[in-house]
Structure 1
Amino acid sequence: MAMPCHTDREVIKKGNAMPARFWLATMLVFSATVLPGEALADQRALSALAPSLPSLGSRLEDVRTMALPEGLRLICEADEGTPKLADPQLLKRHNSRDPSRVKFCTIIAPGSEAGWELASIPSLAGPARLWLLFVEQGGGGRHRLARVSLWAHRDGWDKVASTLTDLLGQPDAGGDSLLIWEDEQHETLMFLDPKSPDEFAVAVADLRLRKLLKSPGLSNRSD
């Protein structure tokens, strides 16, 4: 099923529990329109959020070796040998993008007998769930990291917002629920999901890599 295009406000209103909230982050980061301003967004934001986060543009095969707390595991959509998941739909995406061209990855941990579960990693915001988006660059299965997003408890909002403002300057868009920093190459975004007021997301994207999502061939021919 193809993912419909929404305005930011429409997406926020329709935000829901994962995986819908994952799509909320994707739609906001890849469709937000920002007025010109002083705010900058660069990879320093990733280091501030969690020193262990991979850099934008990293190759998927390199990110697979990232250091994780004991017992945790990185998995990506369409991976072979993925352990049984408590939520079988965890990595399912309800759109037409070819999983060989666009890959979504997250961190899991052993759960109950039902299977492995979505895990949290240490971050500036406290324990946070990590989602990574990779897009194929140049063909041949070479995937580069285009976006990193973290979901954390609402209590961490002020700390993260203050840290990013000190680091990147005043955001171009501000308010109680949406902050955006953008430059020619990167975009950093924080937002609250109205469907889950106890949580917020922060995402950092490479603007040049995100353009590849509009390249021909990223959608299945069956659409």
Structure 2
Amino acid sequence: MKVTSAEFVISAVGPKQYPEDGLHEIALVGRSNVGKSSLLNKMMNRKGLARISSRPGKTQTLNYFRVNQMLYFVDFPGYGYAKVAKTIKEQWGKMIEGYLKKRKELRFVIQLVDIRHAPSKDDVAMYEWCKQIGIPTVVVATKGDKIARGRWLQHTKIIRQTLNMRGDDTIIVFSSETGQGKDELWGEILRRLREKDQPAQVEAAEATDASVSAAAASEREQ
């Protein structure tokens, strides 16, 4: 997809700060330092728009990025960083749980895992949480440039098995350095959004057909 506009909108700490324009929202989740900011910058063609911190666990809000006036990427706090205070982790948990369970604009989750390592217990817990809530998930294996292409299949198989991935969930190898997986991920995003839009479009078409039929019947009666 050609990105013509991308902008940071807000760092939200609760529902009152979430955008109200009804655009699709896609949440990005993953461990600290897994490469969420790098992925966002690559996907949006904007260097430095999503800030890359040298301090893991720094993001403590839901950061909204609007793309092409058609969707939001919602960057979640990174999980699994031991030095983050327990009270902050508890606040994150409440905020994230409330968003995942109640946010009607949320379409699916992109979960990032490091392709070089088997998913952690936190990764597994996050994936299972999304499944329990009923949220579709796209798994992105980041840092694909760090291992040989010939080993990708072996590593993605380990990720699938460790997460116990469902058959309808996708895994995509990604590299923010080379751009590997960027087009594939955009394709997956647009495909899923079209599937979500289809019922509404069908209803609208049916309503239009019904109106046309009613108008035609009225003309015949006259």
TM-score, normalised with respect to structure 2: 0.28
Greater share of helix: 2
Bigger Rg over Cα: 2
> Does 1 or 2 have the higher relative contact order (CA < 8 Å, sep 6+)?
1
